Structure 1
């Protein structure tokens, strides 16, 4: 299930009074007739190969495959007996099929899976496009989700408390339903396709300690990474089969990973510490829906305190600082800046967290823009824009480009600013969706420019 955590970036509130509300980043699908430039999409994926040791990856694989997000253990290993067929039903937005085709191609070529699209009702996986309201009616905190042994959302309520939809009782995978929003931005629909199809086909768990994976509830990575493709490839290795126990899979994994990822044999083992449940709960309270601002702030302080007491120096410590910065941004911008700077320092310690750092960079660039420091904004955005592009994050990419355009205006390069701003709009249409949401993001970032503020 992809959770409704507040977006990791793009929330520039606190930099300027009256910023737009959070839901503008969860925009509706673009209008049929848009007055903005054509929507842009990504072409060739550029996933980086995993650079961790096979010993660490084996540990990750076992925790992903034999545990649910709730922490409940699964008794046996389950997967599809290939081939895997996928069909689409419901009110699919225009971008869904092209993005699904690209995903199926990647699963075939990178993970080596036998996956194909079909229109048959007997498909192994049904992707049903429904409204966000319909999703929230069934799972209030979910942006999208996957359920075994049903094919339509109308079947979910009757099945959810029965053996039919119980992951713990599953012994093999035959039929899955993935529910994605039909009225979200193209990027959110694509992100749901990647995460939910990966879980329908492979592991069901998420681990906060993974810095380079969609199998992480922090929602930083939104398209399948090189690590994810390796996990899926190992998941369907011929040495494994349905019904295997934890120990049986663990015994075969070293040989599987040595064959699939020989570079991981020589990499040093790091064994990052387990993520305690109280830290996970605190983060989800701080950034999830349903809590008051005071409760969120208290939970963020708790998450940061836990990270500090455990001596973490990795992306989880940075994420706790990010949560604090996010929640302090409106009331205390200077304190928020300190937390964003701390997050940036921790993220800079690892080459696995370039995307995480690019997210935080958008916050640092926004603050520099409010100070009228165009050169510093350009330094930030020049560093982060290639990262956002290589990770196919159009919302982040367009935000950084809009910040860059304002910085170019500040430094007297108006014609360049106009070109960058125009170029950003096609990415913004993919990242934010409807024209009104794109224009709202433009206004929000434009209002950070002190020159424009002085002009009223």
Structure 2
């Protein structure tokens, strides 16, 4: 019973590391931390997409001409002038630094003419840092969000039921507001920046079928990928302009992609199957608010059944199995490992899914540690740490490093374990924020070690 409880705790934390933490500190509390200094990523490592340009063209059209609800957008829109961005509200100490890095990437990798201006200057895009409670009062299910034709939360509240804030009614992009929490972990704030700013200047849709994109509600990727930068570069190609129809964009898109991604011309196209609404609903209900454990498990099992019905062998089927494993491991860890293993089998043949595998490795390596199999855990952890680092996922990276420390301790390599654990803490501060949250992760992972349980 102790093993199941300890394993369930750490697995739930690892699986939901993108969910806001209630005890995330204020900026002062972060600055006064007694833990080692926060670490930050410096050099991006985006990988070019490994897909046919024919498939990428279909992705582009689906991303730009449809909303997440499934409703079709009547025309293509983008900014037609150089884009200015400002930050207002109560920005955290890390927000402006992460924003500067992101804007630099957008200029270099996507060719977008975008710059930051002072908070008191007019701007096309206003990023307002507000409290999580204010965000929840505005949109209860959102961690952060973007709205057209507003520059403040007060303006959004005033106009939220008007057509000017409805994406379906938008004919041009000139002014938008992004609302993100200041009292969240640095990584959560950065993740919001990447997703919401990308949607503010580019596609409005998310597609579960994309294995290598932040334009996907699976939350596997948290910073803009090489695929995302290609989509944004194509969005601002000179052949396109606001007001074009889907058919007009489709006619010029092959030439744009051939110029920007010549490698994709030689890759064979793969069949694309739509994602049915019942599968999306099942996935969202699996980790939606207010669901009981049995309801989560039922929804996860339903998503797997739908994936089987659709005949999928892609990342969506793997994601369904991953979720079923997550909601099963608390009551039947051995069965959950079977689901994780099946997910890994699907991912093995899909390019661009290393980060998916690294997320699963948190679960499978924790299971091996709880059984005292340190070598089996390390075989999974070591490559996953490098993948998490390249993806700039500090919360995932720190969890893997803490797991590695426990595996090393089981092997009697105490000094190595202490060095890895110390190194993990700077990343954990970026990924989880508060001392309390970081120490909670340390305790939960430490509880997996059978030697410590036996001694305690």
TM-score (norm 1): 0.95
Q: Following the alignment from structure 2 to structure 1, what is the Cα–Cα distance between the partners of residues 77 and 130?
A: 27
Q: Following the alignment from structure 1 to structure 2, what is the Cα–Cα distance between the partners of residues 158 and 13?
A: 49
Q: Following the alignment from structure 2 to structure 1, what is the Cα–Cα distance between the partners of residues 231 and 290?
A: 33
- Give the secondary-structure state (helix, strand or coil) at the position aligned to 1:325: helix
- The correspondence of residues 435-446 of structure 1 with structure 2, limited to 5 A, is 435-446=435-446
Deviations 1:382-421 (A, max 9, x none): 1211100000000000000000000011111110000000
The aligned counterpart of 2:168 is: 168
- Give the secondary-structure state (helix, strand or coil) at the position aligned to 1:351: coil
Which of 7, 28, 31 lines up with 1:16 in the alignment?
7
Deviations 1:139-198 (A, max 9, x none): 111111000000111122222221110111111100000011111110000000000000
Deviations 1:105-127 (A, max 9, x none): 00000001100000244200000
Residues 1:18 and 1:243: Cα distance change in structure 2 (over 3 Å): closer
The aligned counterpart of 1:89 is: 88
Residues 1:436 and 1:354: Cα distance change in structure 2 (over 3 Å): same
- Give the secondary-structure state (helix, strand or coil) at the position aligned to 2:353: helix
The aligned counterpart of 2:114 is: 115
Q: Following the alignment from structure 2 to structure 1, what is the Cα–Cα distance between the partners of residues 246 and 111?
A: 24
Q: How many residues align?
A: 445
Kept in 2, the 8 Å contact 1:15–1:329? The answer is: no
After the TM superposition, list the runs of 4 or more consecutive aligned residues in structure 1 that deviate by more than 4 angstroms.
Answer: 12-15, 17-25
The aligned counterpart of 1:5 is: none
Q: Following the alignment from structure 2 to structure 1, what is the Cα–Cα distance between the partners of residues 5 and 261?
A: 45
Kept in 2, the 8 Å contact 1:13–1:20? The answer is: no
How far off its partner does 1:271 sit?
2.7
The aligned counterpart of 1:6 is: none
Kept in 2, the 8 Å contact 1:129–1:179? The answer is: yes
Kept in 1, the 8 Å contact 2:11–2:363? The answer is: no
Residues 1:425 and 1:168: Cα distance change in structure 2 (over 3 Å): same
- Give the secondary-structure state (helix, strand or coil) at the position aligned to 1:212: coil
Matched, 1:39 2:30: no
Q: Following the alignment from structure 2 to structure 1, what is the Cα–Cα distance between the partners of residues 45 and 308?
A: 34
Q: Following the alignment from structure 1 to structure 2, what is the Cα–Cα distance between the partners of residues 65 and 175?
A: 18
Matched, 1:26 2:17: no
Matched, 1:318 2:307: no
- Give the secondary-structure state (helix, strand or coil) at the position aligned to 2:147: strand
Q: Following the alignment from structure 1 to structure 2, what is the Cα–Cα distance between the partners of residues 147 and 13?
A: 43
Q: Following the alignment from structure 1 to structure 2, what is the Cα–Cα distance between the partners of residues 13 and 348?
A: 28
Residues 1:247 and 1:43: Cα distance change in structure 2 (over 3 Å): same
Q: Following the alignment from structure 1 to structure 2, what is the Cα–Cα distance between the partners of residues 112 and 76?
A: 22
After superposition, the CA RMSD in angstroms is 1.6
How far off its partner does 1:277 sit?
1.0
Structure 1 unaligned blocks of 5 or more: 1-11
- Give the secondary-structure state (helix, strand or coil) at the position aligned to 1:41: coil
Q: Following the alignment from structure 1 to structure 2, what is the Cα–Cα distance between the partners of residues 295 and 244?
A: 44
Matched, 1:236 2:236: yes
The aligned counterpart of 2:381 is: 381
Q: Following the alignment from structure 1 to structure 2, what is the Cα–Cα distance between the partners of residues 254 and 360?
A: 36
The aligned counterpart of 2:219 is: 219
Q: Following the alignment from structure 2 to structure 1, what is the Cα–Cα distance between the partners of residues 377 and 294?
A: 32
Kept in 1, the 8 Å contact 2:83–2:124? The answer is: yes
Q: Following the alignment from structure 1 to structure 2, what is the Cα–Cα distance between the partners of residues 132 and 290?
A: 18
Residues 1:57 and 1:19: Cα distance change in structure 2 (over 3 Å): closer
Q: Following the alignment from structure 1 to structure 2, what is the Cα–Cα distance between the partners of residues 101 and 54?
A: 30
Kept in 1, the 8 Å contact 2:325–2:340? The answer is: yes
TM-score (norm 2): 0.95
Which moved further from structure 2: 190-199 or 344-353?
A: 344-353
